[in-house]
Structure formats: C-alpha cells, structure tokens
Amino acid sequence: MGPMNLPSTQHAVQLVGPGQLKLNPSKDVHRPGPRQVLARVECVGLCFSDLKLLKQFDQHARKGPIAAGLPPATLAQIPSYVPGTQPTVPGHEVTCRIVAVGPDVRHHRVGQRVLVQTDYRDLPTASSNAAFGYNFEGALQEYVLMDERVIVDKSGRSFLIPVPEDLSASAVALVEPWACVEDSYVTRERQTVKRDGRMLIVFDNDASIDSAARMAAEGGVAHVDMANTPAPAQFARRAAQSYDDIVYFGARKEVVQALNDLLAPRGILNIVLGGRRIGSPVSVGIGRVHYGMTRWIGTVGHDAAESYRSIPATGEFRPGDNIVVIGAGGPMGQMHVIRAVCSGIEGVSVTAADVDDGRLESLKAKAAPLASARGVELRTINTLKTRLEDRFTYVALMAPVGALVASAVRDSAPGCLINVFAGIPAPTRQDLDLDTYIANRCFMFGTSGSTLRDMEIVLQKVVAGQLDTNTSVDAVSGMAGAVDGMLAVEHRTLAGKILVYPQLHEMPLTPLDQLAARFPTVAAKLDRGQWTRQAEQELLRVGR
C-alpha cells in the first residue's frame, strides 16, 4: 500500500484532557515525512498504565516535553509528537505492519510486520522519558506514524522488532507487558557509588565523614560536596543541583526529607544511622522510585560502604524467598505470579493477594497447575477477608498506592526486596518507617517500561512455544468498545488483558465467555476458553 492508497481519515481513540477519552471516527492519517514510517495497527492491548495517563494527562511523567536527545526543530517535524496538553492517542502494546515510508528511511521497509518497543530512554522528560502512547501518539488508531530519529537508537538498532507471520497479532502485542514484567526482575542495580558522578555528604558529626570521603575517592566520584548539619531551608540554594549519591550521617527526619529532593534520576540516598533512630515516619518520594529509579539504602552502623553492599544485583527472586504479589488478580499481577511459580528458583513460595474472589479464581485456574507441576507452594488470599500474617522476603506491588509501600516496609522480613512495579505518580510522597526499612536491610526498587533485550527474550519464548502470552486474554473489542475497555480496566471488571482490533470499527467490548452468544464461530476456535490464533483469524473474518 503506497501513500496514494491510504485513507485520509481513520478511527482513533484520543485523550484530550484529564479523564476525557473520546472515539474520533475521522482523525487524520498522517503521510510519512522524509524520515518517517507509517504502520497499520493489527492489534493493541489495553494497560493499567493507559489509565494512569487518562487520570494524569499532562501531569504524567511521560507526557511532558522532551528535555534532551533531539532538537526542538526536529521534534517540530513529527506530527505524532504531542507533549503537554496536546491530545494524544494511548496504547503501547501493539503489533503493526509498515505500509508507507519516507524517501530517507534507511532501517525499515514496506511490508514489515513488527512489535513496537515503546520506551525511549535516550529521550528524557523532566521526570522520566519519552514513550510511544504518551508524548508520542500510540496505537489506539488504525494507522500510527513513527520517526526514525526517535525509533532508531544511537547504535543503529530499531525499536521496531520484526516478528514472524505465523504468530497471532495478540500474542505479539502481549510481548510488551510481559517484557515490562521481565524488566523489573532483570534490570541491573548500581551497587557502588557512581564513578564520575556527583556526591553530597551531609553529617551531624564531622568525625563521621572519613569513611564516606574515602569511599568517594576509591569509587572515582568526580564531584563531592559536603555540608555540616545545615537546616533544611539551607538546601534550597542547592535546588538547581542534583546528586547521584547522597550520604547522610545522621537521623534527623527533616534533613532526610529535604535530601529527597536533591536526588538525581537513578540516584541513591544512603542513610548512615550510626546507632541512632529517626523515631518517626519520613516522607519519601516513592513515585520517583518507579519513574526516576531512585534508590534508598542505609545502615544502623557507622560504615557508609556497608549500605551499598546490601544492594542486590537485580530484582530477581532468591532461593527460599517467601513472595507475595499484591494485586495478583489483575492482568499484570497474574503475569508476576506465573513468572514466580515458573522461575525454577529453589524453595520459593508464592502468595497471590487480591480483594476480588473472581479474579483470584481466574488466576488460580491458570497458575495452580503450573505451580503443582513444579512443586511450588501457591496460596491465594482475599485480603478483605483474611489478613496477611506472614513476614515476606519479597513483595511485588501491582497497585499504585503509597500506603501499600508503607505496609510492605512495616511487615518486612530481614532482607526484604520491595518491587514497586505499579507506576505511582512521580510527585507522590509517602510516610515510611525508615528505621524498620534500614534495620531490616530492605531494598525498594522500581522500573518503568522495558528494553529491547527484554522484549527479544520474551518474543523468543513465544516463538519457541515456551510461553503463550494469549493466556492473559480476557476480552476482545473493536474501536466501538475501546472506551468501554478502558472503563473495564479502571473498574477491574475483567481479570485479564483486553485486546482491541482497530480495523473492526463497530465491534463492542466482548469478554471471551460471551463470544458464543455474539460470535459463535469465533468461540468455537477457543482452546478450553483461551484465545488462539485461529479465534483471531475468525474474528477478523466475521467481525467487520
């Protein structure tokens, strides 16, 4: 299909303001510029992150303007770049096919079927980074425009990953959320001070600073500032600065809270208590743990280096971990539970906690056979009915609720890892018991999105038949049901993933267990109630 054969308008779901999601049946189809590609969307999955964008709109960390990486003149040439209050198209779990390219496109060709890596980490915003479906238009439309200056990294690798023709569009689209899950476990954590970075050392007693100064020198820190117990107001003059490592020898709550705001993205705040206690909860920027990948560590002793030694290499499970997934019945929670029971790590036990019996039953039907076959203890608990009594060594949080982070700290076992998977809004602060956090050597971490490598790993598993991402599917829809699909995500009325096929204009949101009444020939192609490539092909035949 060349540019002359393209329609001039299309069906699209647009977010035009906070909570304002609209179906537009006549959105323009952009023609590709010299460095741009146009792709036809085959399938897109709905994500809880889409809901966060819906609520926050221009306040979302990824909806802001790009701060570096591409000049404004280049960004002005990309009509699908829509930062700030400009309307956007959500949707970032996508399979598509390239249908037109500009004359200067070098890395892509017409006809390629691709999976989209959506996380543009080399293009920072003020609090996170650019992303497809946020400050670049996403896939809840029939055609989407992308620019090679955005989707090809500095090494020449494309963010569009070629995929085989024999996979269903649904299985390919769902690689993206599975890759986000994978990323949260395999991302490497920094376990030392940042070489060539900036460090701030704050101390109550100048006799305490020798170890930090020595650690900075041995670690190759490029710039070190020191401050002797300043009043928190004095930090205001440093507001234009940020630090990769902040080491505080002391236990003053107000100082810790002020230092929070001086952490650079991926920065580490190290609290060296030296036998003291803070004595009351501290307001911690937990939103930045996910979106800014900031980290909090500490020691009850006097040696600043000891805190760094407690940082794990990754967020992966460890032998013998007692794992709890909070919000386990939702689409992403189910993926975390299935990954845990299939991890092959010796001696782990898994508790799946949720507040909805129906969602827990759906999860149990999928995960219990896997756990039984692998000898993994799996419990499902409705926390509205049964209190979690255990002390867990691994907590994975699926709900963007600050109080859940506080509970994870309060109920932590020694060495507890707290995976803040849900994207708590970047500005959010929460009172945490840092005395317990430090005494138990807890480590709170978060990741946002996925990398090309994560997606390639998951795609390889799908191609090899080791993973069927279609087990996540609970409902399918055309454009007419896409807004209803977002409401279903918001109100948690479906346990699994919702897939939208944009070329089906009039099809409403249809749970798989209702397909027989509406599309009996599609229902006949399910495999014991689960979505399949054959069901997808039949839906595309009869659902138009």
pLDDT tens readout for residues 43-79: 999 998 888 899 999 999 899 999 999 999 999 999 9
Residue 218 pLDDT > 90, yes or no? no
pLDDT band, very low/low/confident/very high, at 228 (cuts 50, 70, 90): confident
Q: What is the pLDDT of residues 16-26, one digit of tens each?
A: 999 999 999 99
The amino acid at 411: D
CA 282 to chain centre: 26
Q: How far is CA 512 from CA 189, 259, 476, 539, in A?
A: 40, 50, 7, 12
Task: Assign 219 a pLDDT band (cuts: 50, 70, 90).
Answer: confident
User: What are the residue ranges of CATH 3.40.50.720 in the chain?
Assistant: 322-390
Q: What is the pLDDT of residue 18?
A: 94
What is the overall mean pLDDT for the chain? 93
Domain at 322-390: CATH architecture: 3-Layer(aba) Sandwich (3.40)
Residue 1 has pLDDT above 50, yes or no: no
Q: Any idea which fold 3-186+452-542 has?
A: Quinone Oxidoreductase; Chain A, domain 1 (3.90.180)
| Predicted confidence (pLDDT) at residue 208 exceeds the cutoff of 80 | no
Contacts of 150 (CB under 8 A, 6+ apart): 70, 78, 81, 120, 123, 130, 136, 159
pLDDT digits (tens, 9 = 90+) for 401-414: 999 999 999 999 99
Over the stretch 441-454, which tens digit does the pLDDT of each residue have? 999 999 988 889 99
**Is pLDDT at 3 greater than 60 in this prediction?**
no
Fold of 198-311+397-445: Rossmann fold (3.40.50)
Query: Read out DSSP for 303-324?
Result: -HHHHHHTS-SSS---TT-EEE
Strand pairing report for 443-445 and 9-17: unpaired
